[in-house]
Amino acid sequence: MRTYKLLLLLPTLLLALFSCTAQKSKNTTLKDAYKDKFFIGTALNLDQIHGKDVQSVEIVKSQFSSIVAENCMKSMYLQPEEGKFFFDDADKFVEFGEKNKMFIIGHNLLWHSQAPRWFFTDKDGKNVTPEVLKERIKNHITTIVTHYKGRIQGWDVVNEAILDDGQYRKSKFYEILGEEFIPLAFQYAHEADPDAELYYNDYNEWFPGKREAIVKLVKTLKERGLRIDGIGMQSHLGIETPSLEEYEKAIITYSDLGLKASITELDVSALPSPWGTSANISDVNKYKKELDPYKTGLTPEAEKVWENRYLDLFKLYLKHQDRIRRVTLWGVTDLQSWKNDFPVRGRTDYPLLFDRNYKAKPVVQKLIDLTK
């Protein structure tokens, strides 16, 4: 009799079990789902750092385990005038990260863009000497890394110094110091905080010429006994570009150097690109209506294609989770994304995981379910 009663109860029990596991996965967030795999992060703008954009901040606190500042830690903002450092916004950013127990990234110490003009010029506006630039780089990196010693876990030490064909970018750093500015930057950063992780960060990091040049750079740094912990693959991606094969090859190539690969500025544009996938902000193109087809929302077909792209990418990250340190989205909601103004100003793009109403897109639950 008792067995018969139990058999009657079984379907109810199973239903209860199923619904609570389903409910349990529904309550899981990105950061909980990926906590044993890699950090899942996002980039914060000033409104989020200062808590003005309350809805974004709630998403960041609940969904992400790592943060990076979208702009306020770049040299033009941290040292707008020689010797005058402005830490207010960056301090707030780090405090937010500490309060929410996040893996905090400093972006970035040396970059040709958003760098103050005074950094490279003397009082007559001419290029400074290599000695002077070396001193300015040392002072900039030492002051900032020391200021956040033990509080920032990883630094993008140098950003975008190599072109897609593997040549060095002809930046002012390169013009005045040649390739030497990179080893110097890693040396100064390590001396200022020996426990901080140090990265080289770039975009189009799957281009063969650039990939080989980055491998050569890493070997040079290691031969000189300089610490480097990872390669930042910005990953400003399109629906079809790059192919998963060439992208996977980059992840494997960099981690085979004994480093971790990090996906540092992930976004997947749903819009047609007038050309490749450059992230060089000055390569902006003229607005054309046909390049902006989803002003009022993605079609179900376009959403499906975009969603499958994210799912394919995260399947790849999970496949290589032992090689990956973090996956950081370059912003919280589509509203914030730089892709609305690049490579064509004034478009309506859908590159991130949360929509303009601060709602998680359906892909978020699917990315969580991937970890099951």
Please say which residue, 202 or 307, places its beta carbon nearer to ligand G3I: 202
Peptide bond into 242 cis (omega under 30): yes
Q: Does 67 bind ligand G3I (CB under 6 A)?
A: no
Q: Give the separation between CA 344 and CA 230, rounded to whole angstroms.
A: 31
Q: Does 265 bind ligand G3I (CB under 6 A)?
A: yes
CB of 281 to ligand G3I, least distance (A): 4
Active site residue 265: yes
CB of 368 to ligand G3I, least distance (A): 26
Would you state the structure tokens that stand for residue 276, as one six-digit string? Answer: 């490749």
Q: Does 269 bind ligand G3I (CB under 6 A)?
A: no
Helix, strand, coil shares, percent, the chain, to 5: 45, 15, 40
Binding mask 136-175 for ligand G3I (x = CB under 6 A): -----------------------x----------------
* Active-site residue, selected from the candidate residues 70, 160, 205, 307: 160
CB of 107 to ligand G3I, least distance (A): 6
Please say which residue, 29 or 159, places its beta carbon nearer to ligand G3I: 159
Exposure string over 92-125, b if 16+ CB within 10 A, otherwise e: bbbebbeeeebbbbbbbbbbbeebbebbbeeeee
Q: Which of 41, 56, 69, 70 binds ligand G3I (CB under 6 A)?
A: 70
| Nearest 10 degrees: Cα torsion 43, 353, 50, 263 | -10
Would you state the structure tokens that stand for residue 354, as one six-digit string? Answer: 């949360």
Q: Which of 214, 250, 279, 332 binds ligand G3I (CB under 6 A)?
A: 279
Closest CA to 355 of 369, 336, 340, 341: 336
Q: Which of 23, 25, 114, 129 binds ligand G3I (CB under 6 A)?
A: 114
Q: Give the separation between CA 238 and CA 271, rounded to whole angstroms.
A: 8
| Count of residues touching ligand G3I (by CB under 6 A) | 11
CB of 203 to ligand G3I, least distance (A): 6
Compute the chain's Rg from CA coordinates.
22
Q: Which of 42, 63, 234, 333 binds ligand G3I (CB under 6 A)?
A: 234
319 contacts: CB under 8 Å, gap ≥ 6: none
Q: Give me the residues that bind ligand G3I (CB under 6 A), please.
A: 70-71, 113-114, 159, 203, 234, 265, 279, 281, 338
- Residues annotated catalytic, as ranges: 160, 265
